[in-house]
Amino acid sequence: MPATPATPAPCAVLHEEDGVLTIALGGRWRITSPRPAWDPPTERTPRMIRLRMDEVEAWDSAIVLYAFTVSRWARSAGVGFDASALNPAVRDLLQKMEGARETIVPLDRSKNFFTVVGLIASDLWTEKKEISHFVGECVISAGYLARNPRKFRWRDCLSEMQACGAMALPIVSLIAFLVGLTLAYIGAVVLRQFGADIWVADLVGLTMVREMGAVMTAIVLAGRTGAAYAATLGNMRANEEIDALETLGIRPVDFLVIPRIVALGVMMPLLALYANALGIIGGMAVAAGVLDIPPTAYWIEMLTIVDLSDVSTGLIKAFTFGIIVGISGCMRGMQAHRSAAGVGLAATSAVVTAILFIIVSDALYAVIFNILGW
Amino acid sequence: MTTLPAIDVTGLDCGYDGKAILSGLNFSVQRGEIFFVIGGSGCGKSTLLRNLIGLLRPLAGQVKFSGESFTNADAARRRELLRTFGVLYQSAALWSSLSLRENITLPLEEYTELTRDERDELAALKLAQVGLTGYEDYFPAEISGGMKKRAGLARALALDPEIVFFDEPSAGLDPVTSRSLDELILAIRATLGTTCVVVSHELDSIFAIADRVIMLDKQARGIIAAGDPRVLARESKDPRVQEFFHRAAFPEAAPNSH
């Protein structure tokens, strides 16, 4: 409320008679302004303390707090406390305040070491089960939609393709170009010592096509699209939209997840191909600008080592990564807790899961392709 | 104590992007009154509330608290005025990372010079006032919806405001819990003389606790009725008012007036 010009400050006037200490409170008591301090009498302990508030113009919790401080002191000093002259509402609040700290509704959040270890183990097990369950559901849904293509949400799938593919071109271009450029610089440092500058073309070409094109694109899309999927689906979960699908007998996986995974499965290889090209151009730029290798020479040298099998291994990986990003994004979104924090956690965990599985599957592919001699 | 109305709204236009949903609103809320803003869905009740509490700027007109303009107040004065009212949001809006105690002590920390112990005592008192004695250490996620509303009210009361705004207090609550919240509103008013402004379309609550209501209407873009809801339900000739009050059967408060 606006301060009235002359606001009488709260005051407490002490007066002792026959061992009864009367505290007369007055003025306007506001919790947001200062209030008189309670100084316990030091010389002579009274027999009884009595509170009065006849002079009080306005009061709120501040006066209750003051009365509470006095009554607590009185109790600890073994002095009688008389609040009968207080306003009944103040008395009632004072009683509540005294009672409040004595009641504690028990709540046990403590956990011992074994509980924690047990919980972690059981979480890991649940996690494994949930992932298998979700992947299984996706496979069943995919099979069902393959048999009933009319049920597939083509429109959603196309708009997701645009969102995760075409709209990701600028960031993918930038990153792929810079990765190609960096590779060329690093290659140049080593190869130059042997006068083998021209092999920068082989290094950049092979690394981009077999490895970096797919991996970098996948990591960008895990952050960009995977997190978005998790947030979208998490929000839909919080909004009960997913429950609404379930009660209609529509499998949310058919409706929401498969179109997104298909979109990523299609767009990721295309983006990786595009990233390969830009990475090679990045390398070419360094070769031409720093190493004085003409682009034609660079191109011809690269073609001697990069062949179709390299490109296709890259694309196989990219396709796998696309599926991984889609599945982790959608899975985390579907598992999200129904709260604002739950959506945030889902997005974070989608990115972490996706990157983890991208790296693991990349290593697996390295072994497999090595055995197959591709 | 001054006799100025707690809230005075004059010529208020409110809406979004320069388009008024409500225009030319004039009304005032007296001290210690339980005042309801009622009306069907989409009539602008929540928009009006957001204008009153300063989350939206009025397109025209102004809102005065105890005679002082809130709309035209400068930044420092505005902050002063902000602490004279509390808001109970529809979803309670408790800060989920803080315990109930911290939820209540945060405004105290911000605006008062109290010590930590005193703040804790006050938090315990506020929780006791709303019937949540002993729940200080709970986090919002650990209590039920009705308890969250109560805790939200305890937070709104933290600075002993003169006015408390309630946004759809009964939304998402069962009738019994909703009724107990109504009683809590009456108790708070009885203890501290707090002015309560409630946005609601819950007929039971309106008839049970409202002193006065204003009814908003989407087409009219303004107030179509004002006064004691029991009288309005009985005597208003306006078909929109009659429709609102008699949609639900409520025998005592809405006797047949046809």
Give the domain CATH number at B145. 3.40.50.300
Give me the pLDDT at residue A104, please: 77
Which DSSP letter does residue A209 get? I
Residue B6 placed within a domain: no
CB contact under 8 A, A100 and B162: no
CB contact under 8 A, B124 and A100: yes
Does residue A99 carry a pLDDT above 70? yes
Which DSSP letter does residue B213 get? E
**Percentage of the residues of chain A whose pLDDT score is greater than 90:** 59
Residue B154 placed within a domain: yes
Q: What are the residues of chain A with a beta carbon less than 8 Å away from any beta carbon of chain B? A: 1-2, 4, 30-32, 34, 57-58, 60-62, 64-65, 68, 89, 92-93, 96-97, 99-101, 103-105, 107, 339-341
Structure token pair of residue B111: 């605006």
Give me the pLDDT at residue A216, please: 96
CB contact under 8 A, B67 and A34: no
Query: Given B68, B134, B192, which is nearest A60 (Cβ)?
Result: B192
Range of the domain at B127: 32-46+84-246
Residue B126 placed within a domain: yes
> Could you give the CA distance from residue A366 to residue B19 in angstroms, rounded to a whole number?
62
Exposure string for A222-245, b = 16+ CB within 10 A, e = fewer: bbbbbbbbbbbbbbbbbeeebeeb
pLDDT in tens, B26-74: 999 999 999 999 988 888 898 999 999 988 889 999 999 998 999 998 9
Query: Given B96, B112, B191, which is nearest A32 (Cβ)?
Result: B112
Q: How far is CA A191 from the centre of its chain?
A: 43
| Neighbouring C-beta atoms of residue A363, cutoff 10 Å | 10
As a whole number, mean pLDDT of residues A111-118 equals 89
> Least CA distance to A68: which residue of chain B?
B121
Residue B227 placed within a domain: yes
Give me the pLDDT at residue B253, please: 47
Give me the pLDDT at residue B252, please: 45
Query: Given B113, B118, B125, which is nearest A100 (Cβ)?
Result: B125
User: How many angstroms separate the CA of residue B62 from the nearest CA in chain A?
Assistant: 17
> Least CA distance to B68: which residue of chain A?
A2
Give me the pLDDT at residue A241, please: 87
In sequence order, what are the residues at sequence separation of 6 or more whose Cβ sits closer than 8 angstroms to the Cβ of residue A7?
A28
Looking at the 3D structure of chain B, how many domains does it have?
1
Residue B135 placed within a domain: yes
> Least CA distance to B188: which residue of chain A?
A89
Q: How confident is the model at residue B186 (pLDDT cuts 50, 70, 90)?
A: very high
Lay out the sheet containing B68-69: strands in order across: B19-29, B7-16, B60-65, B68-69
pTM: 0.73
pLDDT in tens, A336-346: 988 778 899 99
Does residue A7 carry a pLDDT above 80? no
ipTM of the complex: 0.76
Residue B12 placed within a domain: no
Between A16 and A315, name the one with better pLDDT: A315
Give me the pLDDT at residue A100, please: 82
Give me the pLDDT at residue B236, please: 86
Residue B10 placed within a domain: no
The answer to whether residues A244 and A310 touch, using CB atoms and an 8 Å cutoff, is: no
As a whole number, mean pLDDT of residues A321-340 equals 93
Residue B19, exposed/middle/buried by CB under 10 A (0-12, 13-18, 19+)? exposed
The answer to whether residues B78 and B63 touch, using CB atoms and an 8 Å cutoff, is: no
Residue B65 placed within a domain: no
Domains of chain A, CATH where assigned:
11-100 (3.30.750.24), 135-372 (no CATH)
User: How many angstroms separate the CA of residue A64 from the nearest CA in chain B?
Assistant: 9
